[in-house]
Structure 1
């Protein structure tokens, strides 16, 4: 991948979150990555790079991988004892990967299936602060800088509550002492992910925490957009795939949607899954044939029926 001249220049943007400054820096690390950023908060620094492989036509899923490691060198140490090397990812690292994946994956454009990797590493660790929120924000920022078809930015903060006051990105001690430990991710327009544990807080208190969190998320998103504007990111040349013909979608919907909506109400998980799979198989078998065109049509029919899950659940929740 060619190195863009603008990406060789150092750019940075800072924003104050929770009384501390978070800085996004780019242009001097991993210049050949599609997008890279170093996110700092006090003595914590997390580096994130986004890379993309060449397109593979016909791929039926989005192969995105998130990798995050907290090297012992980030704390000024090296592994000792029996194992002298870094081991497999810890539970903490795996959870951080998942928290990064969840808010970012849905923001990629529908139909984009190029293999994409988001690699993060804690370069420096502040003894008082968890670097996981820097990974989520850095993953979003690096993806924005890559120019990939991504409807970001995404911001993330951790919310705590100490002595009745909400704290944005609390320290380890504040999390231990407080009544709330909640991770909130979202965009300029709203919240997309919440993961929380709390000590018997009321619904109003949780809603207030979400509102406070979103105010900081908006600041983080605006900072990322400012950095993207400074760099002058060029969008990746990507054309969305054509969707299935409307007539074919309507035909499948008329035949199978009513049964699908009825079946999705089955309470037993295994029974429901088996019944929904049977409906999907019926659709595939109806259109399947020996020639390649029929097989492609059968796969498309199965995909359309599988997509009924979202329509049916939304229909039941909103209208019934």
Structure 2
């Protein structure tokens, strides 16, 4: 029934299987990719016609993680997969970015690429497998895809590169790098590193490229068995005459516009030139007008690219290596825990750092189960930042991607949770944008954390590099503008400290770049990052030693594991009482780590002392401060160590005689007591009279010691059955009241005035002489 085609290869010591023909047979291309016990299905469908007026390539990539793949039920109220999570959005971008440039120019048919995780073994990450499956499905579908691409993840530990490491290996190592590449060139790079050198990062990319070739070769083998007939593409129209006409009409205007360094003035001149071309083409058909608009964009690109490549002159007059002017300001906002305003040319970010407690951590529900993240970075891009009117609301894929890139850049320099037990939230609000707002977020975020007192290892700066490539001639440009990004061939972002790279991201708009270009870009970026770090240091060159007065304080103490239940109490009663009474927040981990937080130090101290009192052991001879919790006839019970009570006997309240305890003490009164004794059962005997109730100092015990009783003389042996004569009919109780029990019975022989004890009387009522 099934015409299944399959390819298996050994890849990084594991078996990679690509299969088609058994699942999703109505899609244009569908591939099941398996690595270990991780399985991803990717299905590709393409529209056979183009919508009228369509002038862009509508490629949509969706990556979805099915919870059943790891034997889990989704959390939340609905208990089903719903909107894309952050990870699903990021992986969708990972798939989209390297395949989009590999479709021919002018191909505008709508394409859907849907990748779903069907099985996850907890070791082999499905994102790389999804990229391979998407490339394979496109390659066999027949659509005009100039692939295939392969993908690989690379780790680095102890000087060795690791192919497709597990999550645990990545956590233990110094690198998490993802590369997508064709057989000949690298298309996409995404990474997070722990301050690695340019040489190590370049080596990792080349190592990954070799693994990508292996995966791409496997896809070609599958295509040889199962590929559908390629689509017939309409030959592109000859537009050279129209292009020449447009160049003659508005070429000089475009050249003049791109000599204006100010973005808004340049945009006005460019819009005027475009309007001029539109008017000249008013009598043409809609298709011809649309084609003319595209030719105007090509003309703009040619003018900009030629000026850079041949003259070394950029849009704003800089050379290829110069970074735009930078103004950095720390503590920009008075109430934020940490803040910075970072401006580089016409790109600007307001970055803020907010510190929170453990309860502010982000809960993330994924295939590996629940986890909690204590570092968050949120990037916002309002339409006014580029002088436009547009949608303002929830972040889109671009915002999520830019925020994660900046997160990776800064994550490597964060202190450990033991060193700094705060939840950290960074926000970057882009107020102006003309190129590389994500790198402005890195710089501003670094300054904001330093301003907030977060003890990061070192400041981090970031820079965006561009590329102009014509044949064998190329120019790498530093700190690209928005127009240079749109009209160039590469967007290559590098961030790091003075010691090394912390993140690297590259997107290519052409069919890949060579090792020479990549190495040149890395070294040029290193110089740019160093310059930016110097400008940032003018605003703030060290982490502040004091936290903001508006930030919560957190103090950490350790309690024995067997005392955790005492601090929490039955049903959380004790810990709720601590929080309600002191006003401090208290979090307890399973290992006995207790974090106490408040913006007021005295509240932290009160909660800390309470918890120490619960978990500590009382010491004989030590003086404590306590509270009277109960009055009884013979003394008062005092709670003196949070969870411990002791008795102050009436004789130990004052040196003078106390007739009535209530006259000397009241419930709730704070007193100072000394531990006199702890018996074998743990009962504690306390004293107030030997402690100065105002200063808490121990007083000399001036009460004379009680003289020992004289020993009683020998009373002699008791006569059998006789206690001596009693007084007549009286035991010393006096006469009975009227209506009493009546005359007593004569004492029977054996000496019991009340007569013999009945047989059913309890043993304790019977006398020995019964």
Could you say which residue in structure 1 is the equivalent of 2:579?
Answer: none
Q: CA deviation at 1:213?
A: 0.9
Q: Does 1:209 align with 2:200?
A: no
Measure the CA separation in 1 of the matches of 2:282 and 2:43.
43
Q: CA deviation at 1:14?
A: 1.9
Deviations 1:95-117 (A, max 9, x none): 11111111111111222211111
Could you say which residue in structure 2 is the equivalent of 1:304?
Answer: 295
Query: Aligned with 1:199: secondary structure?
Result: strand
Of 53, 66, 70 in structure 2, the residue corresponding to residue 71 of structure 1 is: 66
Q: Does 1:135 align with 2:126?
A: no
Q: CA deviation at 1:212?
A: 0.7
CA contact (8 A) 2:95 2:134 kept: yes
Could you say which residue in structure 1 is the equivalent of 2:100?
Answer: 105
Trace 1:183-222 onto structure 2 (pairs within 5 A). Answer: 183-222=178-217
Q: Which has the larger radius of gyration?
A: 2
Could you say which residue in structure 2 is the equivalent of 1:91?
Answer: 86
In structure 2, list runs of 5 or more residues that go unmatched. 313-770
Measure the CA separation in 1 of the matches of 2:175 and 2:5.
35
Measure the CA separation in 1 of the matches of 2:6 and 2:98.
24
Measure the CA separation in 1 of the matches of 2:256 and 2:35.
51
Deviations 1:192-241 (A, max 9, x none): 11122222222121211111111111111111000000125321233244
- With over 3 angstroms needed to count, the CA separation of the structure-2 counterparts of 1:241 and 1:96, relative to structure 1, is same
Measure the CA separation in 2 of the matches of 1:218 and 1:265.
43
Could you say which residue in structure 1 is the equivalent of 2:171?
Answer: 176
Trace 1:235-250 onto structure 2 (pairs within 5 A). Answer: 235-244=230-239, 246-250=240-244
Measure the CA separation in 1 of the matches of 2:181 and 2:269.
35
Query: Aligned with 1:200: secondary structure?
Result: strand
CA contact (8 A) 1:65 1:118 kept: yes
Q: CA deviation at 1:158?
A: 1.5
More deviation, 13-22/89-98: 13-22
Q: CA deviation at 1:280?
A: 2.2
Deviations 1:165-209 (A, max 9, x none): 111211111222222222111101101111222222221212111
The aligned length equals: 310
Query: Aligned with 1:158: secondary structure?
Result: strand
In structure 1, list runs of 5 or more residues that go unmatched. none
More deviation, 300-309/66-75: 300-309
CA contact (8 A) 2:253 2:269 kept: no
Q: CA deviation at 1:69?
A: 0.4
CA contact (8 A) 2:142 2:227 kept: no
Of 42, 48, 56 in structure 2, the residue corresponding to residue 48 of structure 1 is: 42
Measure the CA separation in 1 of the matches of 2:43 and 2:13.
27
Measure the CA separation in 1 of the matches of 2:61 and 2:268.
31
CA contact (8 A) 1:286 1:298 kept: no
Measure the CA separation in 2 of the matches of 1:67 and 1:54.
20
CA contact (8 A) 1:112 1:240 kept: no
- With over 3 angstroms needed to count, the CA separation of the structure-2 counterparts of 1:86 and 1:282, relative to structure 1, is same
Of 226, 230, 235 in structure 2, the residue corresponding to residue 231 of structure 1 is: 226
Q: Does 1:31 align with 2:25?
A: yes
Measure the CA separation in 2 of the matches of 1:227 and 1:282.
51
Could you say which residue in structure 1 is the equivalent of 2:77?
Answer: 82
Of 282, 287, 297 in structure 1, the residue corresponding to residue 281 of structure 2 is: 287
Query: Aligned with 2:54: secondary structure?
Result: coil
CA contact (8 A) 1:185 1:192 kept: yes
Structure having the higher helix fraction is 1
CA contact (8 A) 1:48 1:138 kept: yes
- With over 3 angstroms needed to count, the CA separation of the structure-2 counterparts of 1:299 and 1:114, relative to structure 1, is closer
Measure the CA separation in 1 of the matches of 2:11 and 2:258.
43
- With over 3 angstroms needed to count, the CA separation of the structure-2 counterparts of 1:32 and 1:203, relative to structure 1, is same
Q: What's the RMSD between the two structures over aligned residues?
A: 2.2
Query: Aligned with 1:118: secondary structure?
Result: strand
Q: CA deviation at 1:314?
A: 3.4
Query: Aligned with 1:238: secondary structure?
Result: coil
Could you say which residue in structure 2 is the equivalent of 1:161?
Answer: 156
Query: Aligned with 1:99: secondary structure?
Result: helix
Query: Aligned with 1:137: secondary structure?
Result: helix
CA contact (8 A) 1:79 1:86 kept: yes
Q: Does 1:114 align with 2:112?
A: no
CA contact (8 A) 1:111 1:240 kept: no
